Structure 1
Amino acid sequence: MQVVVVDPMQVRLAGQLAAAVGPGVLLKCARSADDWQSWLADADVFVGSKLPAELAAKADALQLVQVAGAGYEGIALDSLRPGTVVANTFHHGRAIAEYCVMAALALSRQLLVEDRALRGGRWRSVFQDSTAPVHESLAGKTAGVIGYGEIGSHVAQLFHALGMRVIATRQKPRKTAATPLDWMGGPQDTGRLLAESDIVVVTVPLAEQTRGLLDAQMLARMKRSAVLINVARGPVVDETALYEALADGRIAGAAIDVWWNYPTTGADAQPSRFPFNELSNVLMTPHTSGVTRDVFEDRMLDVAANIRALRDGTNLRNVVFRGTTKTPAPSACSTGGIR
């Protein structure tokens, strides 16, 4: 059985992956696009997050597309050969939740602003500057989670541990006794969540119904003192509306980990057509909120388990697509997307 590994983190873990898969499998790890595109015709398994239509159509032997993350929107599902299965994996909820706490604290305490000021010799402190702000603790504030799935549940737990009131929305509201939420609503309650929250965390998947979900009208529901943290997908938030809200001070700040533009080759590209980098109330990161070693090692074990299952004829895990019919997939960002 031939396995083409394109996902860069799984390529890095190729030795561990090969050991976890065991015998009877040939792993071909790509170092460039020129490598793997020529291998597709004979591949039984493709491990990666992007398989465009023109390449998927050439994969005549493909049985399994294993996405080494949660989001599979980069796979041309309609172009896969009949019977090809697509599966994904997760494990990034805790890492992303830690990022959200870090971002919330950095923005609410204006950490980046104070850091830049002191690097220039200015002490932006009430003890030296009478105009400097006095910050507030997160305890007693409200955190709102839009898209309460695997990531959202971890976010809720950590913010709750900080003494925050936590509220959430999800496609199908379902609150359990173990859920540390004040209330959970459906998509129709998004406006209410925005109006009540001091910290808004976006974790919904990108779909037609969520594209542009947070537009100018929705962002206008937020408090002027509130901050937005987007760890879902860039286009879930209207790009123009968010920039204008931040530039005009209609919301206090934003942590943006997911963008509207990504590099097509190499590592250089502007993430937006707007100069978010010029705004002092924005924390910018390159889609790294879920990038920790343990996340990728755990995902590697899931990838290996599905390769073994295909080899041995046993059940596959986390199947999100089979043939030409989708099976119900976990909510989004329950997943958080391609990470």
Structure 2
Amino acid sequence: MKLALLGQTCADNLDHLKACLTSDWEIGLWLPDDPVDKGEALVGDADAIVVGSDTLVSGGAFQLIPKAEKLKLFQIPFAGYDWMKPEGVPEGCLVCNALGHEQTMAEFIVASLLEWEIGFRRLDASFREGSWKYQGANRDPGSLHGEVYGKTLGLFGYGNISKETAKRARAFGMKVCAIARSPRDTTPENLDWIGTREDMPRLLAESDYIALACDLNNETRHAFDAAAFAQMKPEAVIVNVARGPVAEEEALYNALANRQIAGAVIDTWYIYPNRPLPGGTPEASPRPSRFPFHELDNLIMTPHCSAHTVGADLRRWESIARNLDSLAAGREPETVVMLGTREPQI
């Protein structure tokens, strides 16, 4: 079978992919500086495509994919696929995302909660300036930091990221609840309860922290709007590692600016480098929102990096190898997220 790898990210991980594969593939590589006709010939004959994150961001892959007429598997190198349309690939083509980042993102979420409670940045800055304000012998209540023990973490979405997060939060003695797309017959391990969107009011009312870890789709877009923020505890903190628009942009800004909720840790945004809003001008380093989130002091901002580790990258390519092996063996890959619907071109 023939495999087309598109992008420098694929080239960087080619040796690891080959080491993980147990099936035979004829592998071709297209880099962004290569001629377009080379890429078109490569994908036109491919049974599977793995697209690198660099060619997705630059858009280079999208000029090639329409030439992929024999394609059986289109492999995304990360979790999100909200930008992918089934009509973009041939009818019946399996579109898969990758696993392996869930452990890293769970650590990021739990680290966010710990930093919010303990405030290492604040303690370090104060002590460097010569102050002993936060020492343990100080009887001033303002010198105390918090703890996550006994607090409630609500998970919006219950996929692999939330499962790993629940495991870690439980180890810190937290109560954990979740909202899933579909009902469960039993409560999964490490959860106190699990519900569906009908149970959102309970999650909003009970949670000290809410982590958004879901797909972005028509059901989840703007799931956290002004009405949702109004139902949260005033001391609640929201953590978004899903996609920015799961939280409605203006409503989130207002909830933070007006101290309707205590704060947020935001890793996923609304504007990205060279991906402006409609009518906007591409910028290499834009502000991530139409609103001045960067001026708020009750917000931790990070540049969409919750899964950005060597370990996560390696595990993702191991996941990709398993999907390719499954396809070669005639089995369904483990991470199918949609089927292509594009009719053959005549």
Question: 1:129 offset after TM fit, Å?
Answer: 10
Matches of 2:176 and 2:111 in 1, distance apart?
A: 17
Q: 1:46 to 1:205 in 2, by over 3 A?
A: same
- Paired letter, 2:164: H
Report the more deviating stretch, 252-261 or 13-22: 13-22
Equivalent positions of 1:151-300 (< 5 A) are 151-174=161-184, 176=186, 179-264=189-274, 268-300=285-317
Query: In structure 1, what is the equivalent of residue 79 of structure 2?
Result: 70
Alignment of 1:25 with 2:16, yes or no, is no
Q: 1:33 to 1:219 in 2, by over 3 A?
A: farther
Runs (4+) off by over 6 Å: 126-129
Question: 1:249 offset after TM fit, Å?
Answer: 1.6
Alignment of 1:4 with 2:4, yes or no, is yes
Matches of 2:67 and 2:267 in 1, distance apart?
A: 34
Q: 1:210 to 1:111 in 2, by over 3 A?
A: same
2:134 pairs, out of 104, 125, 132, with 125
Matches of 1:18 and 1:134 in 2, distance apart?
A: 52
Query: In structure 1, what is the equivalent of residue 101 of structure 2?
Result: 92
CA contact (8 A) 1:53 1:76 kept: no
Q: 1:100 to 1:309 in 2, by over 3 A?
A: closer
Matches of 2:37 and 2:120 in 1, distance apart?
A: 45
Question: 1:220 offset after TM fit, Å?
Answer: 1.4
Question: 1:112 offset after TM fit, Å?
Answer: 3.6
CA contact (8 A) 2:101 2:316 kept: no
TM-score, length basis structure 2: 0.82
Q: How many residues align?
A: 324
Question: 1:41 offset after TM fit, Å?
Answer: 4.0
What per-residue deviation string (whole Å, max 9, x for no partner) do you get for residues 32-52 of structure 1?
Answer: 366668503431132126477
CA contact (8 A) 1:9 1:296 kept: no
What per-residue deviation string (whole Å, max 9, x for no partner) do you get for residues 105-151 of structure 1?
Answer: 11123344444555666665377795835322211111111112211
- Paired letter, 2:339: R
Question: 1:318 offset after TM fit, Å?
Answer: 2.3
SS at match of 1:86: strand
Matches of 2:77 and 2:187 in 1, distance apart?
A: 32
Question: 1:28 offset after TM fit, Å?
Answer: 0.4
Q: 1:85 to 1:238 in 2, by over 3 A?
A: same
SS at match of 2:16: helix
| Structure 1 unmatched ranges of 5 or more | 326-339
| Structure 2 unmatched ranges of 5 or more | 276-282
Q: 1:180 to 1:317 in 2, by over 3 A?
A: closer
- Paired letter, 1:95: T
Report the more deviating stretch, 96-105 or 3-12: 3-12
What per-residue deviation string (whole Å, max 9, x for no partner) do you get for residues 267-314 of structure 1?
Answer: 623221222222222111222212222222122123223334445655
SS at match of 1:296: helix
TM-score, length basis structure 1: 0.83
Matches of 1:115 and 1:244 in 2, distance apart?
A: 30
Q: 1:148 to 1:278 in 2, by over 3 A?
A: same
SS at match of 1:254: strand
Matches of 2:208 and 2:8 in 1, distance apart?
A: 37
Query: In structure 1, what is the equivalent of residue 88 of structure 2?
Result: 79
- Give the CA RMSD over aligned residues: 3.0
- Paired letter, 1:166: V
- Paired letter, 2:40: L
CA contact (8 A) 2:88 2:340 kept: no
CA contact (8 A) 1:10 1:300 kept: no
Q: 1:246 to 1:2 in 2, by over 3 A?
A: same
Identity %: 36
What per-residue deviation string (whole Å, max 9, x for no partner) do you get for residues 35-86 of structure 1?
Answer: 6685034311321264776543233343321112222223332132233221
- Paired letter, 1:289: S
- Paired letter, 2:191: L
